[in-house]
Structure 1
């Protein structure tokens, strides 16, 4: 059988995200892929075509419950390993007026003024975490991903949403499991249940004792017509914001650090002031997109795209890991980490009406966390060879399980 007519089965372990992205891209800019459970979908790996999909609400919808026949007809079981990506009720799973309403209510908490106001808090968290790392015995191997790249954004997003200390592990755990594409159907069901329970508990706690935080603001928020978020929408929104606010930035920070440690000339360039840290952040977003394959959009009608026909109802993934390395945009050096690159075009925060609300916050966190780390530990180095790093265990995210380093103050 012609291999080009066979879908590429996505590696549930995410063993080599970039190698898999290259295989998909080699088949064409829009390629048939197979998800867990034998579910067929399309992966878009061209920057130009991804912008078309992301920006075209008339042809590509987000609401699986209205536009994915396989889900509507019961062919997709509730125990499907990726069910969390279609079960959530929030602005990323709605279209049109519903999306506008939900985004409008949520965006009030992400104004430029509010984001800038938490800069001192982010700086404080970064320095506290670095103080803890400074207490590590000289020469000891430290997992920088767990101790810094994860803890910093987790604390920032939990503080922003007013999550009590005793609930933080539970509300974050659901997002961690949701991106693991190796989970069994039973684990998928249990995770959705645990995740919902944790979020309901958070909402109940904030209703009992509101504070100056975004969860309390979302509970109280009303649209111009007096409508509020329903309980289901509120819980779904918390799923989205707490999960995305911790997991994606964790991978951005870890991959940026790894890229600098494996490119010492570029590390020297930025630490000496030869180029700004914002250039590091944008190049890391491009060449190491924190999200590899983002589920889902659904074709509203049979649609020609990139030389193929996407049938009505077919699910579509956006292959951000491949898009950032699109050779039609970045030429033969597309796979190379280069902070001096003039154009660092990427779609790692999306495009169109679903563009990531948290993009300014993520950029600010990274621009604080990275220079603070290398200023405190200028002799920071990897404790293992780069090819010994283990994958995160997902085809959705682009990350490593750990980032073992040795610190030198």
Structure 2
């Protein structure tokens, strides 16, 4: 099985790295000094206070020197954009981190997030046409149906429901499953593969193990659809570009869509709902002011920036980075959540949710060649979900004290474990939402 191969591949290389000088054991992530986890720590919805202090003094900051590897954190907005856009000096190829040879294509792990040009350029060109606004517009009725169907189920379960389990995770899952062309019989297995992909609380090997399982599943789907292409994205690429991409690459692309569109959107829906419950005036604006949802969604994306750090970047050579000497192979972690709170760009109230602020390009979807290809799809989901939620349940409220909420600590994608709410449904609410 591909999963078994990948697990052995990752495990052996991590073991090799830890048994020679300069090795890095990702499974010991929880044993790292506290400052290394800074980009993944928050207080409620806000980055920890140390983040702002460091950003103001040193937007490029050396977090630690571990196992022969320097780890740098970039938390300034301008500095983050510069690093994310620079493919000359930085690489996203993760293979050296786990002791693999980057010059051997057979040892690749696939996917856009861990790929450099020219492979990245070729693969992204295959995927980009599927995410143009024109093609995505065809999904709008499907998105609205999924949203309203889930709200129907949630309302039937009420008067108390869990936004996380009953709504936020279901909407993007169903959409991504439809988009990729995953058959009904395979969906329960597919659903279980998401959250563990971003959870570092159990160590790095757990993340790689989860990654291998989801990729194994998607490789199976790809092999099936090679013989009988379905109606989804995988089948479309096979029909139109099948001769230019192998199964590992196509499975990696599909995994990237899954990775970028499932838990990220779910966390945005859940945390976005929490923010709107804190701010009932803006929740009401979604219902009362046509078009208000656009600015509210953009500000939620900036304010929450649930993908806390970008894909790791590695210095290709010794270089100076904003006054610091960075060595070849050093890991540079771009704090997207930190950069999106930069007061130099977003104003003195950057730590507040304020949809009326002057427009500025946030980094919630990243920047440069690795910017999320499904950004517009995510916006469509959020607009549809919050609009329907505001119309269906205008008096929505928390069912527990906010102090009782448990957030997903030490996760690349920040989120809340559960969000119990009182629905206070209104008569004929689905018709009003339509």
Equivalent in the alignment of 2:188: 169
Q: Is the 8 A contact 1:21 1:319 kept in 2?
A: no
List per-residue Cα deviations over 1:232-282 (Å, max 9, x = no partner): 111211211112111111111112211110012322333321861011110
Worse overlay, 6-15 or 349-358:
6-15
Distance 1:101 1:251 in 2: 30
Tell me whether 1:343 sits opposite 2:359 in the alignment.
yes
**Aligned with 1:181: secondary structure?**
coil
Tell me whether 1:120 sits opposite 2:147 in the alignment.
no
- 1:396-407 maps to which residues of 2 (within 5 A)? 396-407=412-423
Distance 1:372 1:42 in 2: 42
Q: Is the 8 A contact 1:44 1:316 kept in 2?
A: yes
Q: Is the 8 A contact 1:175 1:239 kept in 2?
A: no
Equivalent in the alignment of 2:401: 385
Change in CA separation of 1:73 and 1:376 when aligned onto 2, cut-off 3 Å: closer
Equivalent in the alignment of 1:374: 390
Of 149, 159, 183, 2:202 maps to 183
- 1:165 is displaced (CA, Å) by 1.8
- 1:128-277 maps to which residues of 2 (within 5 A)? 128-138=149-159, 140=160, 142-184=161-203, 187-188=206-207, 190-222=209-241, 227-273=243-289, 276-277=292-293
Distance 1:162 1:73 in 2: 32
Distance 1:310 1:387 in 2: 42
Q: Is the 8 A contact 2:38 2:51 kept in 1?
A: no
Distance 1:19 1:111 in 2: 33
Distance 1:317 1:185 in 2: 15
Of 302, 306, 320, 1:290 maps to 306
TM-score w.r.t. the length of structure 2 is 0.82
Equivalent in the alignment of 2:80: 50
Worse overlay, 164-173 or 246-255:
164-173
Of 1, 11, 23, 2:50 maps to 23
Q: Is the 8 A contact 1:282 1:344 kept in 2?
A: no
Tell me whether 1:32 sits opposite 2:62 in the alignment.
yes
Worse overlay, 373-382 or 29-38:
29-38
Equivalent in the alignment of 2:129: 108
Q: Is the 8 A contact 1:256 1:280 kept in 2?
A: no
How many residues get paired? Answer: 385
Distance 1:11 1:366 in 2: 28
Distance 1:388 1:35 in 2: 37
- 1:175 is displaced (CA, Å) by 3.3
- 1:119 is displaced (CA, Å) by 0.4
Runs of at least 5 residues in structure 1 that lack an aligned partner in the other structure:
1-5, 75-85
Distance 2:222 2:168 in 1: 27
**Aligned with 1:295: secondary structure?**
coil
Change in CA separation of 1:395 and 1:95 when aligned onto 2, cut-off 3 Å: same
Distance 2:46 2:294 in 1: 27
Structural RMSD (CA): 2.6
Q: Is the 8 A contact 1:219 1:228 kept in 2?
A: no
- 1:378 is displaced (CA, Å) by 0.7
Distance 2:332 2:320 in 1: 13
Tell me whether 1:96 sits opposite 2:96 in the alignment.
no
**Aligned with 1:174: secondary structure?**
coil
**Aligned with 1:93: secondary structure?**
coil
Change in CA separation of 1:267 and 1:207 when aligned onto 2, cut-off 3 Å: same
- 1:312-331 maps to which residues of 2 (within 5 A)? 312-331=328-347
- 1:189 is displaced (CA, Å) by 5.2
- 1:107 is displaced (CA, Å) by 1.3
- 1:171 is displaced (CA, Å) by 3.0
**Aligned with 2:313: secondary structure?**
strand
Equivalent in the alignment of 1:3: none
TM-score w.r.t. the length of structure 1 is 0.86
Q: Is the 8 A contact 2:69 2:331 kept in 1?
A: no
